[in-house]
Structures are given as C-alpha cells and as structure tokens.
Chain A
C-alpha cells in the first residue's frame, strides 16, 4: 500500500446470507486480489451474476469483505470509523438514473451530498456550480430532474458525486439504460474527469466500445478475476472472450475472421482508425485488380 494506490483488494471473499433456513449462502466473490492505481481508468467486464456489482460495493464500504481486506486510500473498509471518509473519496453511480435523484431541482440534488458532509453553505454553492459546469449541465441547474433525458440525469448524478470532491468514481452499469447519445455524453464526462482532473474511474459495462477507452480491463467471472490487461490484450483473444459470454468490438471480430481465413493481420485492432491504417498498409504492398 502506498500513496499511488486508490483501492487495494487482498484475497477478498464475500457471500450473501441465505434468505431462509433451508437455502444456502450465495457465494459472490471468491478470492479477489486487485490493485487500482490513482488516476487509472479501469473497466470491469463480466456476465450477469459474475460478481461485478458486489465487487463495486466492496470498494466503497457498502459491503464489507467476509474474508480478506479492502483498502481505500489506505483505509480499511472493515473499520467502521472509516466508512464516511471512504464514501467521500469513492462515489458511486448506479444503473437507473431515476433511483438516485432525490432533489426536486437539479441544483438541490447536487447539493445533497455536500450538505450531508456538513460543508458550509457558501462552499456548497461553489461546489454545486463547479460540478454542474464540469459535466456540462449548468444551464439545467433550476430544472426539475424528471424533465431531463436519461443521459442528462446520469450527468446530474455524477455532478452530485463531484460535489463531494471524490478521488474515485465507480459507475455500476450507469450507461446501460441510455441511448447512444446519452452514453456518449456520459463517457465524454468520464474521460474528461479522468484525463484532465486525475479522478480514478471504475466503469462496469456490457458495451465493448466503452471498454476500449479504458487503461485497463478486468474480467470478472464466478467471483474471480479471470483476465486482466489493456483493452488490446483482452480483446485479442476473441475465442476466450466469447467463451466468457462477452463480446469483442466488431472491428476486432472482422480481423479475427479474416485471420481464420488465412490472413495475417494483427489480432489486437480495436478502433476504426486502427483498422483503416492496417488495411491501407496491406493495400500498398498487396494490391489486386484496379480497384484502387
């Protein structure tokens, strides 16, 4: 543990207690070791029920490990005295925007967090304005939240967390209810926070294009981390990824299929730009007919 580590999970196990006497406990996390560095953009992938959401909840002390430890900014989540400090450092955005907005007016909603932290009113005012500006929602400060689109609501939820001045934001499938435009809006905000403001981002998603934006991808299955690496490293093994019930970007799949037919393209192409570059190179050395 040192000052460049945001979150450290050591040999973490978690189970949900059985709801009735004859039922069994449900194992959710089965021995996870993971270190997340400050300023990192980490994407968690995994099929439904793999343990991603449980893991996120262990990262901000909503759940505590049954065995093992989770340190957030050097603070042990098992120590109840740390709980509020941990939740101030690590904010969480959930899937359904309608379940996490409490205010009747956008700026009231954003003020809710810092109010609870006992921040003085004039400081709250500054933080609310600054947070709304950061997510590009200043013009909507006096709107009723129900009049906003899904993407706008999630940006308000993010602003509410920013107003608590966290070091890390966790998004638990926060883009899965949004349309393509809403997803882009939220992702742009996350990239800005991460690249320009140094905020650590942990993003859970089923959208592989979003995973490609990460510094690092970790795949969770059966409560364990079964793969970990850069997006290029993770998606280059197409068969393995599909075997995990996941998918690869379409572009990656195109080259995977071409290579199966005897081509020798790189197997870690993730974006359209990379794809065009590699096709261009191959055209230059390998032109057929007069199509070019």
Chain B
C-alpha cells in the first residue's frame, strides 16, 4: 500500500480571470513508512499538493490513490481515517475545557469505541507526543506554545492514521520545542511504521528529519532526492527560493581553499569529522 500521485494538476479559480495553476503534472509514489519532507517556497504548491492526500482538494487532472482508494471516489470517510492532517498553527483549533477532552474530540466524533479503549488511545496519543499525565486535566490554554501544538497533533494521532501529514509543524516553535517534536514524530514513524509527511520551507530541518526530500517549485516537482544529495546543487536550491544549512556554505568555502574537501556537508557532526582530518589538534 502506498500513496500514488499520478499526473496531478490542480487549478485555483479555474475558468476565471484569476485562474492559477497551483500544481502542475506531478507524479510521485510515497511508500508506507517513509519520512518525507515536502519543501518549497511560499506559493510553490506544496500545501495544495498535500491537501489532495485526504481529499480536501480534488484533482483537475490526474489521480491520487491512497492505500488503494481513489480520492475522487465516495470512500472519503475511510480515506480521512487513514490520513491524519495537521494544519499550520493547529493549536488555534484547540477549544475544549481540558487537554484530555481536546485530544478525545476527533476520536469520539469519528469512531464509536468503548469508553476504556478510547481512554487507552487518548493516553497513548498524549504519551507519544510527550505530554505528561499532569497536563491532561489542565486547560489547553494554560500551556506553552510548544505544548499546545503537541496537544493538537495528539488529537489527530489518536484516530490512528497510517499516514500523518503536517503542514509547517515547527513554525514559531523555539529550538527545543522543534527538536522535541521531530523526535516524537521520528519515534512514531519507527515504532508504528506511520508514514510521516512534513511540509516545510526549511531544507535544513528536513535534512535532519526526513529520509526523502521532495522539492516543489512553481507547482512542479523539481527534485526527488535524499538529504545527502539535496545540497549538491546549492545554486539550484537558491534559484527556487530555498537555502542550504550554514555548514554547507562553510563546506563550500573550505572546498575552495582545501583540495579534496567535500562541499556537500549538511550536518554539524560531519563537518567536525572532516575538519579533524585536515587540521591537526594543537
């Protein structure tokens, strides 16, 4: 089972003067259990693309098939159980009196579960998002920004999606909150084999998290690559409004000075290793 996107085209305001092709002829297959970063500048079509995965948007041409279900078919309810969608700033959608009730909301609406099983799943989702038991009876509005966001994501996780799509999940989080969120998502991916798809404008963040990177540019799929290969062509990335990590720029500078120094480094640890090869310890 997988996500198959075939020749997908989506047009906003079709047949009007405002017509805009947001996604143009995109074909890509995402396999079960992958960690995928979909990257692109504002307006590149990345959010439009992922909104097709649970049938929020429908193709104007082409097809999207998720675990065998065509998003144009009538099985939309089934589709939405499989694909959990976390929008930008999901904490703005919190509304319940307690963290527990907020996480439970989607579960109670979508599934008719016995009370004890529901309780188990709610507590499990909270734990997966690193929310402690003491927080469960608090008002979500008393929590910090990072905690609120994790409550909102737990509210999607609790429904047990096999595919989790997150649109800019780290925007506005402090560095620690960001790292913790990525750790939680990696852990869910590892233990439950959940496919995790993250929409982001940061190549740097995705290079640290994803095992596959899709770059969108002007509605088209411009790159389908791995973190290791993504930074081989920095000029191309920059021409698409993206940038490389600071250490990549440092590596490129060093490669000009030192013969044979690798120019495609994108992590701090690798940079440390390579410098140790060329500069002797005092």
Contacts and interface: CB of A to CB of B under 8 A. Distances in A.
Interface in B249-274: 249-250, 253-254, 257-261, 268-269, 271-272
B41 interface: yes
A276 B174 CA distance: 29
Interface stretch (A32-40, A227-235, A253-261): A253-261
Contacts of B106: none
A76 interface: no
B33 interface: no
Contacts of A47: 144, 146, 174, 176-177
Interface stretch (B158-166, B189-197, B238-246): B238-246
Contact of A250 (B141, B176, B245, B257): B245
A280 B42 CA distance: 38
A179 B257 contact: no
Interface string A40-55: 0000001111000000
A209 B268 CA distance: 15
B42 A283 contact: no
A179 B250 contact: no
Interface in A261-290: 261-264, 272-273, 275-276, 279-280, 282-283, 286-289
B175 interface: yes
A120 interface: no
A272 B172 contact: no
Which of the four size classes fits the interface of chain A? 35 or more
A176 B246 contact: no
B113 interface: no
B279 A263 contact: yes
B247 interface: yes
Contacts of B253: 272-273, 275-276
B269 to A, nearest CB: 7
Contacts of A247: 175
Contacts of B173: 48, 206
A206 B172 contact: yes
Contact of A272 (B250, B268, B280): B250
Nearest to A288: B280
Contacts of A276: 250, 253-254, 257
A254 B271 contact: yes
Contacts of B40: 179
B243 A180 contact: yes
A283 B242 contact: no
Contacts of A288: 278-280
Contact of B246 (A46, A173, A209, A264): A209
B236 interface: no
A262 B230 CA distance: 32
B246 A179 contact: no
A250 B247 contact: yes
Interface in A143-173: 149-151, 173
Given A253-B268, A254-B271, A257-B269, A245 B177 contact: yes
A283 B275 contact: no
Nearest to A153: B42
B65 to A, nearest CB: 30
A177 B172 CA distance: 7
Interface string A47-71: 1110000000000000000000000
Closest 4 CB pairs of A and B: A48-B145, A245-B176, A179-B201, A247-B175
Given A26-B142, A276-B254, A288-B280, 11 more contacts: A19-B141, A151-B42, A178-B42, A179-B41, A180-B241, A181-B242, A182-B42, A246-B175, A250-B268, A272-B246, A292-B257
Interface of B: 40-43, 141-142, 144-146, 168, 171-178, 201-202, 241-243, 245-247, 249-250, 253-254, 257-261, 268-269, 271-272, 275-282
30 contacts: A26-B142, A48-B177, A95-B172, A149-B41, A179-B40, A179-B42, A179-B241, A180-B41, A180-B243, A181-B241, A206-B174, A209-B246, A246-B175, A249-B246, A250-B271, A251-B246, A254-B272, A257-B269, A261-B272, A262-B282, A263-B279, A263-B281, A272-B246, A276-B257, A286-B280, A288-B280, A291-B258, A291-B259, A291-B260, A292-B278
